[in-house]
């Protein structure tokens, strides 16, 4: 379990009890929901209430309760990254610490994961949040993300998720990319599924969500779309607009010449707005193409200098590490 929290003092004991009630019965049983052991990694993301004191008390009484306290508030994505880095389990389940997610849904996620999926995401079918501040912006954001990225997950913002460790470690989590974990998982070639989960109203603490975060989603979506589709071929993203701008500018210049020499009512070149538009479009096109070339150079530097590959291998048959070195 990886659970980032901030100022959730009044929810932590209830969270601990609910997790114990959901996970303890799974210890030692057979099947995909059975556990040999589990750990709960709580990441205290710069809480200013007494959350850390409560966590210290819980950690003293339960050896499975482990705490990572960050020096300040870094945000949910770095906190999630810290939890994954400090965890040891083969399967990582994430959730919020505000008790709106229901730990009793965890066995269902594990069972679905056992069907061969790399990640299983929760879908808050009956979401217990405000309509105008939370539900409508979330609905619009999810629709836009699906349309732009092509990832069919309906609820990108549900933090109740189960992932295999190798996938969780491979996710490029930085900035505020926690909202795009399903998209990042599909970028890694993961087999994903979504199942309906319970969602409860918040009864203690204060939500950290604001409408300004919905605006930031649009900016992050541009980054995700570029990473998802064009990170290895930036010229395809920038070159096409550049060619269109240059072609349009060329047509404007042809129109300017015709209006000067082919029209029955000649127009002076210097006073024709098409001339200025054509010159501007040609310059814009050259800039787009130049940025595309720079992007190609940066992409190659990124992959080659760090020894990164432009592809990920799921599995191999009858191949050894020696074969991999020869392929490299």
pLDDT 10s digits, 250-283: 999 998 888 878 776 776 666 788 888 999 999 9
The closest alpha carbon to 162, from 187, 195, 129, 189, belongs to 195
User: Within its chain, how far is the Cα of 214 from the centroid?
Assistant: 14
Each residue's pLDDT, cut to its tens digit, for the chain (328 residues) gives 999 999 999 999 999 999 999 999 999 998 888 899 999 999 999 899 889 999 999 999 999 999 999 988 888 888 999 999 999 999 999 999 999 999 999 999 999 999 999 999 999 988 877 777 678 888 888 898 899 888 989 999 899 999 999 999 999 887 778 889 999 999 888 999 999 999 988 888 677 666 566 677 777 888 888 877 787 788 888 889 999 999 999 999 998 888 878 776 776 666 788 888 999 999 999 999 999 899 888 877 876 776 666 555 655 444 655 544 444 5
pTM: 0.76
Check residue 317 and give its pLDDT. 46
Q: Helix, strand or coil for residue 85? A: helix
Contact (CB, 8 A) for 93 and 2: yes
CA distance 158 to 43: 18
CA distance 210 to 208: 7
Check residue 205 and give its pLDDT. 67
Which DSSP symbol is given to 64?
T
Contact (CB, 8 A) for 161 and 94: yes
With tokens 């989603």, the residue in question is: 217
DSSP result, 112-170: HHTTT-SEEEEEETT--S-IIIIIHHHHHHHHHHHHHH----S-TT---EEEEHHHHHH
The closest alpha carbon to 71, from 55, 94, 48, belongs to 48
Check residue 277 and give its pLDDT. 93
Check residue 267 and give its pLDDT. 67
Check residue 306 and give its pLDDT. 67
Which DSSP symbol is given to 65?
E
Q: Do the bridges between strand 119-124 and strand 161-164 make them parallel or antiparallel, or are there none, so unpaired?
A: antiparallel
Contact (CB, 8 A) for 310 and 303: yes
Check residue 264 and give its pLDDT. 67
Check residue 309 and give its pLDDT. 60
């Amino acid at each position: 379990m990886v659970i980032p929290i901030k100022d959730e003092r009044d929810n932590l004991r209830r969270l601990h009890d609910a997790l114990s009630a959901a996970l303890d019965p799974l210890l030692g049983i057979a099947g995909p929901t059975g556990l040999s052991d589990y750990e709960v990694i709580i990441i205290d993301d710069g809480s200013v209430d007494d959350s850390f004191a409560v966590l210290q008390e819980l950690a003293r009484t339960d050896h499975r309760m482990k705490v990572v306290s960050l020096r300040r508030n870094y945000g949910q994505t770095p906190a999630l990254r810290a939890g994954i880095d400090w965890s040891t389990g083969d399967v990582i389940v994430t959730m919020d610490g505000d008790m709106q997610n229901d730990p009793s849904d965890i066995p269902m996620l594990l069972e679905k994961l056992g069907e061969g999926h790399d990640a299983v995401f929760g879908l808050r079918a009956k979401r217990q949040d405000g309509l105008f501040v939370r539900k409508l912006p979330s609905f619009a954001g999810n629709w836009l993300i699906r349309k732009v990225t092509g990832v069919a997950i309906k609820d990108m913002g549900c933090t109740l998720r189960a992932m295999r460790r190798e996938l969780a470690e491979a996710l490029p989590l930085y900035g505020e990319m926690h909202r795009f974990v399903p998209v990042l998982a599909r970028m890694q070639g993961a087999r994903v599924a979504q199942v309906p989960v319970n969602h409860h109203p918040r009864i203690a603490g204060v939500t950290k969500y604001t409408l300004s975060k919905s605006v930031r989603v649009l900016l992050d979506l541009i980054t995700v779309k570029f990473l998802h589709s064009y990170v290895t071929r930036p010229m395809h993203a920038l070159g096409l607009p550049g060619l269109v701008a240059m072609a349009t500018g060329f047509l404007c210049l042809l129109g300017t010449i015709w209006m000067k020499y082919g029209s029955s009512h000649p127009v002076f070149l210097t006073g024709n707005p098409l001339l200025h538009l054509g010159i501007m479009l040609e310059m814009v096109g050259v800039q787009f193409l130049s940025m595309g070339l720079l992007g190609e150079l940066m992409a190659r530097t990124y992959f080659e200098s760090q020894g990164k590959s432009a592809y990920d291998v799921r599995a191999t048959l009858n191949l050894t590490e020696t074969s991999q070195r020869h392929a490299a």
